[in-house]
């Protein structure tokens, strides 16, 4: 096998200047923890410009206003800020002034003042104790019209038939079979 040429044994990017530990930190969790231990040069008292942040010049420079006028895509801010006021109404709007008594005009009553507050008792509608006879013996049998130990359907009140009822052949056969089974179930 032949080789093309002697290549230098240097890894890719190893000839560049490296950012080493004491002066630079990695941009991961470990680098963030090491930064808290050693501190940063640009952080500390005297490194912030607090005297310029709250001034009126800073507010005017950092206000989102349009430099191109009112055109499509221009960032405009309101010219005058809305006044600071609360949205809650005053105490007089919640309830009326009750220091003076309100006199109703003659012939008119205040709303809902003439309605009956309590229902009248109906003591006369139901009998009280001793008003009924409880010693009477009543029949405990249910009266039912019977004919030869079967119900007499002709005497039982029923609705009047309004239409002619036709019975199909298979309905008649089914009824006969049902009656036979009911009769035989009495003996077997």
Q: Is the pTM of this model over 0.75?
A: no
- Taking only the tens place, the pLDDT of each residue in 47-100 is 777 777 778 888 877 766 666 666 666 656 566 777 777 777 777 776 677 777
Report pLDDT for 142: 65
Write down the number of H helices and E strands in the chain.
5, 2
For all residues of the chain together, what is the average pLDDT? 72
Q: Both tokens of residue 172?
A: 């008649």
Q: Does residue 184 have a pLDDT over 80?
A: yes
Report pLDDT for 124: 63
- Spatial separation of the C-alpha atoms in residues 101 and 15, rounded to whole Å: 97
β-sheet bridge partners, residue 146? 151
Rounded to the nearest 10°, the torsion over CA 71, 74, 75, 77 is -10
- Taking only the tens place, the pLDDT of each residue in 123-147 is 666 667 777 777 777 777 766 667 7
Contacts of 77 (CB under 8 A, 6+ apart): 63, 64, 65
């Amino acid at each position: 096998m032949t080789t093309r040429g002697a290549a230098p044994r240097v890894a890719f990017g190893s000839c560049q200047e490296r950012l080493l530990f004491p002066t630079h930190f990695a941009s991961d969790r470990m680098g963030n923890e090491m930064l808290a231990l050693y501190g940063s040069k640009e952080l500390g008292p005297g490194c912030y410009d607090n005297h310029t942040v709250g001034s009126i010049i800073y507010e005017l420079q950092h206000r989102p206003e349009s430099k191109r006028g009112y055109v499509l895509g221009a960032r405009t801010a309101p010219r005058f800020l809305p006044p600071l006021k609360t949205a809650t109404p005053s105490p007089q709007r919640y309830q009326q002034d009750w220091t003076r008594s309100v006199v109703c005009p003659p012939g008119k009553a205040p709303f809902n003042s003439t309605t009956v507050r309590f229902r009248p008792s109906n003591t006369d509608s139901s009998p009280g104790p001793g008003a009924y006879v409880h010693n009477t013996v009543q029949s405990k049998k249910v009266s039912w019209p019977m004919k030869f130990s079967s119900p007499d359907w002709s005497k039982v009140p029923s609705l009047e038939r309004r239409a002619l009822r036709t019975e199909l052949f298979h309905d008649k056969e089914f009824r006969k079979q049902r009656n036979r089974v009911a009769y035989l179930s009495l003996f077997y």
